[in-house]
Structure 1
């Protein structure tokens, strides 16, 4: 078996989390929310955060939501097109605090600068600049 990429990640959120998801993922980070109409119409139990043409996060609102803890979740890492300084400026303009900044965390594509933030549901998100070509 040869995996090409991750298609999606499923994250549970509070039942009333749609507005917070829109504020954080769409308004602050600039990602598109998809499937909201179908979710609100009861046609599907989740909606999507479109990260890239072939990558999404499924957000599943539920009454049984438990905030993530260090014992059951650490973070999801997203490689972004911008450098860390541009990412920090975007976050600051949106009022989002940087929890941690690392010069070169190792990931699937190599080492590059990254910042870590929390979404409104407690999930840690790594925003990593592209790895420089060698």
Structure 2
């Protein structure tokens, strides 16, 4: 079996966290929000569109437990722009930067990355394209 790419990642969020998730991922980070089937009651989750071939499923849950260092570290998303441009966009959106690294290793090689936390405690690595 030969893998092609990751299709999606599932993240549980608090049942009352839908607006916060959509604001963070959609408005502040600028990713697409696909929620029509969720709003219609046809799916128990909505999607954050990262690219034509990748999404994050956000599953609102009454049993949500914040991620801890023992069960989650981060999800990495390759984005356009330099680290300076990414940091400027995050600053303009009011998102606190947890840390920046010059060249963490990823699937596509080493390149600068900026780390942030979403409203629920998930760390998101925003990695520059190689």
**How many Å separate the matches in 2 of 1:57 and 1:97?**
21
Number of equivalences = 130
Is there any run of 5+ residues in structure 1 with no aligned partner, and where? none
* Residues 54-133 of structure 1 aligned to structure 2 (within 5 Å): 54-131=53-130
Q: Deviations over 1:50-108 (max 9, x none)?
A: 00001000000000000000000000000111111000000000100100100000000
TM-score scaled by structure 1? Answer: 0.95
TM-score (norm 2): 0.98
Instruction: Give the C-alpha shift of residue 41 in structure 1.
Output: 2.5
| Whole-angstrom distance in 2 between the partners of 1:11 and 1:38 | 17
Runs of 4+ in 1 over 6 A off after TM superposition: none
Higher strand share: 2
Give the alignment's Cα RMSD to 1 decimal: 0.7
